[in-house]
Amino acid sequence: MTREFKKLLKFIAITAATVFILDFMIGSLLEYLYNKMEAGERARAHFATQKSEADLFIFGSSRALYHYDPSILKDSLHVEAYNAGRSAQTVLYHLPVFKMILSRKKPKAVILDVNESEFLYDQSKYDLVSLLLPYYTNPAVKAVVDKVSPGYRYFSWSRIVPYNSSLVVIAYRALGFGSRRSDDKGYIYFQGNRTSQLETYKYCGKPITIDPNIVDAFREFVQLCKDNQIPLLIVVSPRFMKVDCERKDLLEIKQLADSMNVRLVDFSTSPKYLQNLTFMYDEAHLNREGSIEFTKDVIFQLKHAQE
């Protein structure tokens, strides 16, 4: 072994050791700051998975986050509720979140709010699962991440990589910037109205591509509730738009829910909301007044299911 080769090996060893040490130190700091965040969707997700003792959990995308008021649910149903909705996420994300919650406690009921396009393939749905990486050591999270991002396992040794998508937010919160938005048990709301008129969208003849991974996650979510005897209500929130024919993507969801004997309530074309612009913030979301009314409608469905 030549002297130059020994120097090269020594350099590589020192560099590797330095990288591992820095990764561990910086990653540990990021983990600490991440867990200390008190506002924002990351903080709410951490509270839901690690701390919340609610008896009723709401899962779904931003349409869940902005549409379900836990205080109204509590007043009417007499149970603590927590809104675990998260913007742009699908059941691919919510399945492991639900499993993490279930490992701590068994909820008395679950609401899963789904988008009409929930089952459609979209690469961005896979990319957003990266927000689960801080919990990768949890088997439920690992199973989903390894399925949709198999290459991540080669970087799972790193303490920094799980927080790549959160670096700016962590720094922002750690430095004390950003005011706390209204945040009641995970729920936040929109004020005002940005919608001016009812649009008609054309879906007749539109091709769709169903994502088997999302369908499997939906099946597992439903079955998990059945196996644990947890009442489940699947809801499609109101949307301020008309369609020229029945949406095939939504029909896929309804047919699977029906085959699994789980109740699904579709408000997506409810006249009550289509004819009342004052309830809407934009095409896809209710405002504060709309969310109050909608939460009451969902409560009626929950009570009706128990009769």
| pLDDT value for 290 | 97
Residue 167: which region, alpha, beta or left (left: phi > 0; alpha: psi -120 to 50)?
alpha
| pLDDT value for 112 | 98
For the entire predicted model, the pTM comes to 0.92
Dump strand ranges (E) for 166-246.
199-201, 232-236, 241-243
| pLDDT value for 34 | 86
Q: Edge to edge, what strands does the sheet with 81-83 contain?
A: 81-83, 56-59, 109-113, 232-236, 263-266
Residues of the chain with pLDDT under 50: 179, 182
Dump strand ranges (E) for 53-183.
56-59, 81-83, 109-113
Amino acid, res. 59: F
Q: What is the CA radius of gyration of the chain?
A: 22
| pLDDT value for 203 | 82
Residue 239: which region, alpha, beta or left (left: phi > 0; alpha: psi -120 to 50)?
beta
> Torsions phi, psi of 241, nearest 5?
-165, 155
Widest Cα–Cα separation across the chain = 83
Query: CB–CB of 144/129 below 8 Å?
Result: yes
| pLDDT value for 175 | 63
| pLDDT value for 305 | 64
| pLDDT value for 174 | 64
Residue 87 CA to residue 50 CA, distance in Å, equals: 19
Residue 232 CA to residue 264 CA, distance in Å, equals: 9
Residue 147 CA to residue 131 CA, distance in Å, equals: 15
DSSP letters spanning 21-47? HHHHHHHHHHHHHHHH--SSHHHHHHH
- Rounded to 10°, the helix 91-104/139-148 angle is 170
Residue 38 CA to residue 62 CA, distance in Å, equals: 19
| pLDDT value for 184 | 67
CA distances from 203 to 110, 207, 269 (A): 31, 9, 14
| pLDDT value for 183 | 62
| pLDDT value for 1 | 64
**What are the domain boundaries of the chain?**
37-306
Q: What residues does 129 pair with on adjacent strands?
A: none
Residue 111: how many other CB atoms lie within 10 Å:
25
Q: Note the CATH architecture for domain 37-306.
A: 3-Layer(aba) Sandwich (3.40)
Residue whose structure tokens are 């699908």: 90
- Nearest of 166, 155, 143 to residue 46 by alpha carbon: 166
| pLDDT value for 96 | 97
| pLDDT value for 198 | 83
| pLDDT value for 15 | 86
Query: CB–CB of 129/145 below 8 Å?
Result: yes
| pLDDT value for 178 | 58
User: Which residues lie below 8 Å from residue 176, measured CB to CB, with a gap of 6+?
Assistant: none
10 burial via Cβ count (<10 Å: 0-12, 13-18, 19+): exposed
| pLDDT value for 167 | 77
